[in-house]
Amino acid sequence: MEIPLAQRAQQVTPFLAMEVMERAKQMEAAGREIIYLCLGEPDFATPPAVLAATGQALAEGATSYTHSLGLLELRQEICRYYLNHYGVEIVPEQVVVSSGTSPLMLLLFSSLLEAGDELILPDPGYACYPGFVKFAGGTPVNLRTAAEDGFQPQAEQVRALLSDKTRGLLINSPSNPAGSVLSGAQLQALAELPVPIISDEIYHGLTYQGEERCILEFTRDAFVLGGFSKAYAMTGWRLGYLISPLSCVRTLQILHQNFLICANHFVQRGGIAALQQCQEDVADMRAVYDQRRVELVRRLRELGFGVHFEPQGAFYVLADARHIDQDSLRLSRDILEKTGVAVTPGIDFGAGAEGFLRFSYTRPFAEIVTALERIEAYLRRRGKLPYAQGSKNVSYHQK
């Protein structure tokens, strides 16, 4: 018997970064040595203070339900963090804590969007944004951004796309996949638009150049997505939060009660420890990422990739590979099969990144070195190195 599935489920496209990773895992199981530069998965261990706090929480029996908005103590710490870092005053009643930011996006878009309503998304942008919007019944409106703007939306571009169906603009700073950071002036201009701003700030804490600003400094009619996965190396813990205008919280809370109930009790205790005790851990990780960032950009450019905008935050480099192959999925698959290096095809992030590859620098320096040596050999075989093929090349280790 053929079981029909809902159209809204079938219109969500595959997450290609995961598809690449899953193929790489198959190859690894068959004996290949794989270097994973395809996912935003920190290679650092979760800070000891978080482990200690969650261990103590489990020993104390913190395995029950919590308030549907999250532990009050955690929401209070989030409020303190925003006051200390951005000078923004929020109250615990504005914060919804959940099992990562992904379920919160689904709840938020379901709250904002009626069938056919539009949400403006940056292109290129995080691969899963359009799927969330479509599943909630909305229509993603892609705003094609430019490399010279760090692939970030500019206020005048957004204004040209506004219609009577527009229900919001989603921004991401530091961004995935480009690693660019919106300045205070840019955020101010976006905040003056007559639509709510949804600001995905999951990579806050991982900014290397420029000042890290929060949209709530410029408008209170905004929603902020934040969490612990990236800066605190807590991806598998699944802990995130949404800061909402007070007028919208009750609806979000009811949806959360029905669909998710609450985040794990003991994990929330770990989040409290992260905010209270782990800022030095974040600074140490950020310093290592920064070293990798600088060298990866230098080396990719040396190999002929176009890095049109040097990343300022997160842990990704979006590199133009159109001189090798205009089809980024085909190219990423070929690189994986022939070199054992997993990278993400640019098309995963929208038509604006087709022909690009995203390299993640969340692996140890030695692995990044080896990956680039393999890619150099691959490019040499294809005759795509920028220097003469017959010349005596200086090796990476000699540079």
At 87, is the pLDDT very low, low, confident or very high (cuts 50, 70, 90)? very high
Rounded CA separation 60/65 (Å) = 14
Task: Please give the average per-residue pLDDT across 253-266, as a whole number.
Answer: 97
Q: Does the pLDDT at position 107 exceed 70?
A: yes
Reported pTM: 0.93
pLDDT, one tens digit per residue, over 296-311 is: 999 999 999 999 999 9
Can you give the three-state secondary structure of the chain, one letter per residue?
Answer: CCCCCCHHHHCCCCCHHHHHHHHHHHHHHCCCCCEECCCCCCCCCCCHHHHHHHHHHHHCCCCCCCCCCCCHHHHHHHHHHHHHHHCCCCCHHHEEEECCHHHHHHHHHHHHCCCCCEEEEEECCCCCHHHHHHHCCCEEEEEECCHHHCCCCCHHHHHHHCCCCEEEEEEECCCCCCCCCCCHHHHHHHHCCCCCEEEECCCCCCECCCCCCCHHHCCCCEEEEEECCCCCCCHHHCCEEEECCHHHHHHHHHHHHHHCCCCCHHHHHHHHHHHHHCHHHHHHHHHHHHHHHHHHHHHHHHCCCECCCCCCECCEEEEECCCCCCCHHHHHHHHHHHHCEECEEHHHHCHHHCCEEEEECCCCHHHHHHHHHHHHHHHHHHCCCCCCCCCCCCCHHHC
What count of other Cβ atoms lies within 10 Å of the Cβ of residue 241? 26
Contacts (Cβ under 8 Å, ≥6 apart) of 115 = 137, 138
Task: Please give the average per-residue pLDDT across 47-72, as a whole number.
Answer: 98
At 189, is the pLDDT very low, low, confident or very high (cuts 50, 70, 90)? very high
Contacts (Cβ under 8 Å, ≥6 apart) of 250 = none
- CA angle (270 as vertex; 180, 220 as ends), nearest 5: 50
Domain architecture of the chain: domains with CATH: 7-45+280-383 (3.90.1150.10), 48-278 (3.40.640.10)
CA distance from start to end of the chain: 62
Tokens describing residue 147: 């490399």
Among 112, 67, 115, 124, which Cα is nearest to 92's? 67
pLDDT value, residue 12: 87
Beta-ladder partners of 227: 240
Cα maximum dimension of the chain: 68
Tokens describing residue 395: 């090796």
Task: Please give the average per-residue pLDDT across 51-75, as a whole number.
Answer: 98
What count of other Cβ atoms lies within 10 Å of the Cβ of residue 301? 15
pLDDT value, residue 396: 35
Task: Please give the average per-residue pLDDT across 257-281, as a whole number.
Answer: 98
pLDDT value, residue 11: 86
Contacts (Cβ under 8 Å, ≥6 apart) of 221 = 196, 197, 245
Q: Does the pLDDT at position 227 exceed 70?
A: yes
